[in-house]
Amino acid sequence: MVNKELVGGVRTVCDVVETALGPFGANKLLIQRDGTVTATASSTELLDRLDVTDPAVTLLDSAASDFGDQRGDGTGSVVTLAGALLRHADRLAERGLHPTAIEQGYRAGLDIALDAIDHTARPLSSFEPSAVARTALTGTRNPQVRRSVSAQVAEAVADAGADAGERIRVVSRTGGAAAETDLVSGVVLERGPVLESMPRSRSGTGIALLSSTVDVPHAGSQLGRVSRRVEFEADSFADREALAEHESGTFTDQLRAAVDAGCGVVITERAINERVQSELAAAGVLGINRVDADELRLIARATDATVVPTLAQVTEETLGRGSVDVRRKAGRDMTFVTSDAGETVQTLFCRAPDPRTVGAFERSVEAAIASTAAAIREGRVVPGGGAVEATASWEVSQQARSLSGRQQLAAEEFGEALMAVPRALATTAGLDAGRAAVRLRVARSEGRDSIGIDALAGTTADVLGELPIVEPVSLKRDVLTTATDLAVQLIRIDERLHATDLGDEEGAVEEDVPDSEAA
């Protein structure tokens, strides 16, 4: 039997996420232990901020989060479907089906559903990549913003190629409107120069990328394998003064060598010490510190630079080439790094009026990038708005009749569970979910597989019409497979055990030990 008590928390989480599905998903107020209150309709953020202690919920959270990290979109659909499959498993358990029989029926239903998705697929060439981006862009309901931003996403993905996820970065900033979102060729850093007297623009210069703190070298320090250690003992003031002058002179020599090699910008993952900032500024070098390692690697790809440990390793060969401009955006300095020397790297610079909106918008832009890249890689899409789930549900209900006994019952319930997505979209769009589901089923009986929920229009309609709602085939296949695997894993849980319960069992019989060994 399905252990309802053990997966009760999972059902609660699934119900919460289900009502946040779609562009009109309901907001949730997340109240953390420290009193921080966050309003969000993002399934990903809901799961990330949950204070989870229940093992079954932890399993759900981990699986859904991993799915989102790998695919970039679809987390809400995975959780919604998993919750629906668990609810229908309860019905089957009440009718006497064992978890093994439920799993067999679910697996059979999944095979039918995956075949239905493949048969429903259309070539991407019949639409535009921007249509995929617009479908995933649920962070705004403004038609003009959706149109312009989705076009920018499609352009960025087309330029970036197969590894678009690694070569497109999304930066968001509170202040302004979403319509001000801009596609920048290069990398945008959310920080400016470490010193106001540094230049704010360097065009066509050498860019040094460092992984450690920029500071005067300490006497006796050495990179790499140390074969001999030298210790300095400066007892007198004169000795300490001479040592400081030597270290400062060494840094000056290193800086001069870097500038002679063409260095005009220093960007480091660590800090730029205050005692060398003025010297960098005097040399006309723009210094930016505390840049994330991922950002540093992206700049390296764009400028064809090599990340080195310290300024001493900077040479003409390790320098990247490009332009660096510091601009004032939304009340703070932002640094724009552009270059034609390396790979194509782009940044979508997003704006929104408040923190909650900007966060939701940024996440939807990231989802749009991932979905568009997946669609371009595969070259096929399926109707969105719950249409493909409704088609898969219909096909499962038809073909399940050919199965026998308990497996047929479980497969039929699997097909019913697939309607959870279109029902949730209809509910959040303000429609009658029951009537919407009936209309979708009638359309399938008539051979119309593109009728789905147009949430923005607030109706059931042909989602492949003037503004098509389409999603990548691979994403839909992965959502169904992951949700089924997760549900089956939870269905088969029959007991919760603590690892410590498995040792030192009560009543364990001690082995007889000879007196000589006991002594």
Would residue 364 count as lying in a domain?
yes
SS (H, E, C) 428-448: HCCCCHHHHHHHHHHHHHCCC
Q: Rounded distance, CA 112 to CA 120, Å?
A: 12
Q: What is the CATH number of the domain that holds 418?
A: 1.10.560.10
pLDDT digits 0-9 by tens, 177-202: 777 788 888 899 989 999 999 999 99
Q: Where a domain ends, among 282, 314, 339?
A: 339
Considering the domain boundaries, does residue 512 fall inside one? no
Q: What is the mean pLDDT of residues 70-86?
A: 88
Please compute the mean of the pLDDT values over residues 365-372 and round it to a whole number. Answer: 92
Q: How confident is the model at residue 308, as a pLDDT?
A: 96
- Looking at residue 450, its pLDDT comes to 94
- What pLDDT score was predicted for residue 74? 85
Instruction: Convert the pLDDT of each residue in 215-227 to its tens digit.
Output: 988 755 544 454 5
pLDDT of residue 51: 66
Strands 332-338 and 320-329: antiparallel
Query: Bigger pLDDT: 495 or 184?
Result: 184
The answer as to whether 200 is a domain residue is: yes
Return the higher-pLDDT residue of 73 and 235.
73
pTM of this structure: 0.79
Domain residues for the domain of 69 are: 8-123+382-491
Q: Is residue 228 part of a domain?
A: no
Which of 339, 366, 401 is a domain's end point?
339
Question: Which of 148-152, 169-173, 338-342, 441-445 bottoms out in mean pLDDT, i.e. has the lowest?
Answer: 169-173
Same-domain status, 216 and 303 = yes
The pLDDT-based confidence of 518 (bands split at 50, 70, 90) is very low
Closest CA to 484 of 411, 431, 378, 390: 411
> Are residue 97 and residue 37 in the same domain, yes or no?
yes
Residue 179 lies in a domain: yes
Q: Hunting for tokens 């364990």 — which residue is that? A: 508
Q: Which of 436 and 138 is assigned the larger pLDDT?
A: 436
Q: How much is the mean pLDDT over the chain?
A: 85
User: Is 229 domain-assigned?
Assistant: no
User: Do 245 and 305 belong to one domain?
Assistant: yes
Q: How would residue 243 be classed by pLDDT, with cut points 50, 70 and 90?
A: low
User: What share of the chain in percent tops pLDDT 70?
Assistant: 83
Asked if residue 510 is part of any domain, the answer here is no
Residue 19: predicted pLDDT:
78
Residues in the chain: 519
pLDDT of 348 above 60: yes
What confidence score (pLDDT) does residue 154 get?
93
Distance CA 371, CA 373 (A): 5
Same domain, 267 and 373: no
Question: 332 and 194 in one domain?
Answer: yes
Q: Which domain CATH number covers 361?
A: 3.30.260.10
> Does 176 share its domain with 197?
no
| DSSP assignment letter at 272 | B
Q: What is the CATH number of the domain that holds 329?
A: 3.50.7.10
| Same domain flag for 204 and 311 | yes
Per-residue pLDDT band for 1 (boundaries 50, 70, 90) equals very low
Same domain, 422 and 481: yes
Q: How many domains does the chain have?
A: 3
Rounded mean pLDDT of 18-31?
A: 74
Backbone angles phi, psi at 99, to 5 degrees: -50, -35
57 and 107 co-located in one domain: yes
Distance between CA atoms of residues 368 and 347, nearest Å: 14
Render 238-255 in DSSP notation, one character per residue.
Answer: HHHHHHHHHHHHHHHHHH
Residues 157 and 213 placed together within one structural domain of the fold: no
The pLDDT value given to residue 315: 95
Are 370 and 471 in the same domain? Answer: no
| Gap between the Cα atoms of 211 and 270, Å rounded | 7
Same domain, 55 and 177: no
SS3 403: coil
